Amino acid sequence: MNDVSDNEYRQVRIGKLDRLAEAGIRAYPERFERSHDLAGARELPEGTEGVAVAGRIMTARVMGKLTFMTLQDQSGRMQVSVRQDDVGPEAYKVVKKLIDIGDFLGLRGKVYLTKTGEKTVAASSFELLGKTLRPLPEKWAGVQDQETCYRQRYLDLTMNRQSMDRFLLRSRLIRVMRRFLEENDFVEVETPVLSVKASGAAARPFASHHNALDMEVFLRIAPETYLKRCIVGGFDRVFEFARCFRNEGMDPSHLQDFTMLEYYAAYWNYEDNMDFTERLVQQVLEELFGTLQIEIGGETIDFSGSWPRVSFRELILGDCGIDIDQHPDADSLRAAIRAAGIQLEDVDKLGRGNLIDQLYKKVSRPKLVRPTFLTRHPIDLSPLARRNDDQPEVSDRFQLVIKGWEVVNAYSELVDPLDQRRRLETQASLKAGGDEDAMDMDEDYLLAMEHGMPPISGWGMGIDRFCALITNQANLRDVVLFPLMKPND
């Protein structure tokens, strides 16, 4: 509807509110006791009495003294009927004249089958549970405009059942992951969203100001350094579903505010972590879908068995012919990239680690389809990871990549405080030179490290990204209920 007709429609509904009040009917009562959700009511045998259901009216057909309506709730839809002879003439006038599609309605009655075999609740009484003042979108078209789905998600959820199912699956995903971690002796903790240092990952932070303390603070990039403080304090295994914020570019697989699951386990290395990750992801998919053969982007991807493990050097060398081990500094690697005719953004500003990362994302990541563990990242790409004992120039780290998307990032964590200090000093120098993604010094975290850490392996997964991947959504906004949008004005 256009704005004028929509406003006229709203005024008609407001008029009905006045008429409801004159009839002594509350348009917005405080509660309604349901006996079943609609999906549960549909399973009841014919003849069941004392059934109480509620939902939003999605369709209505007035047939003289009998009206059929379709109600909808979170569980699905069910037909109900209101007959004048059952509820009385005055009450039936309310159904015909004052109740509209979009309103919320509660009914009590008996389950029966219509002549067409559709299970229906026949109302012996009903209550208006919420009057809507604006029309729902046209029922057959639903909500097709993607921007409307993002800006008015409530309409998307109401009109598009697949959207509701997707967000219910996201909730189940988190629930299954939480249960799996708890069953494996992980403890859920909470860490700060505001911090005086933008630490935990190489990313650009959102800055804010703390009025009471009169100081600059940053929104959390990642919970990593605080979860590691928990290990210092004596926790064996900790995890957090953390809302994180990174003030960087937007694309279908990146958002500035997102949900990340991070966990850390004392006494593990990254190979223990890879084994656990396989089991966790396989368990999640089995519980969500009942199979490990998942269709993603038109391809059936097999998540069963052991997944391939390939080193960073082998992958890049095979895909573009550049041996990163032969280029120990940024200038040498930059020259090799140019000689190969590969175009990267901000190539003159990046340090060696971020150059390697951009090269990988350009030439290798899009080719990784089946679940693959990418291992042994260069140490200057991993400022918080442990050096490999046999090859100090690489880290004990892995990423899980599926269909070109990085789903998990994991390490054998760096627990040597002196090595960590040197690497953070290098990061701080890069940042001073213009690399905005490099990390700051974090003396408070170093202080915690100097009180002693056991061997640790940790892990981070973008929940939005993993959910989008397994539900075949090309854009993370399709699995975030209320993504940030630029105002229309």
Q: What are phi and psi of 59, to 5 degrees?
A: -145, 155
Q: What are phi and psi of 9, to 5 degrees?
A: -60, -45
Please report which helix (H) or strand (E) contains residue 431, including its range: helix 417-432
At residue 90, the pLDDT reads: 95
Homologous superfamily of 159-308+370-479: Bira Bifunctional Protein; Domain 2 (3.30.930.10)
CATH no., domain 3-136: 2.40.50.140
Q: Is 29 helix (H, G, I), strand (E, B) or coil?
A: coil
- In whole angstroms, what is the distance from residue 14 CA to residue 125 CA? 24
Q: Where are the domains of the chain?
A: 3-136, 159-308+370-479
At residue 383, the pLDDT reads: 67
CA dihedral 182, 187, 190, 191 (to 10 degrees): -130
81 neighbors 91 (Cβ within 8 angstroms): no
303 neighbors 294 (Cβ within 8 angstroms): yes
Q: What is the pTM of this model?
A: 0.89
At residue 423, the pLDDT reads: 84
- In whole angstroms, what is the distance from residue 427 CA to residue 423 CA? 6
At residue 140, the pLDDT reads: 53
Q: Tens digits of per-residue pLDDT, 351-360?
A: 888 889 899 9
Asked if 3-136 and 159-308+370-479 have one fold, the answer is no
DSSP string, 203-245: SPPPEEEETTTTEEEEE-S-SHHHHHHHHHHT-SEEEEEEEEE
At residue 449, the pLDDT reads: 96
Bridge-based pairing of strands 372-375 and 309-311 is parallel
Q: Tens digits of per-residue pLDDT, 308-339?
A: 999 989 999 999 999 998 998 899 999 999 99
**Mean pLDDT across the chain:** 92
| pLDDT < 50 stretches in the chain | 1-2
| Nearest C-alpha neighbor of 271 from the set 229, 306, 314, 219 | 306
At residue 1, the pLDDT reads: 41
Burial class (CB in 10 A: 0-12, 13-18, 19+), 209: exposed
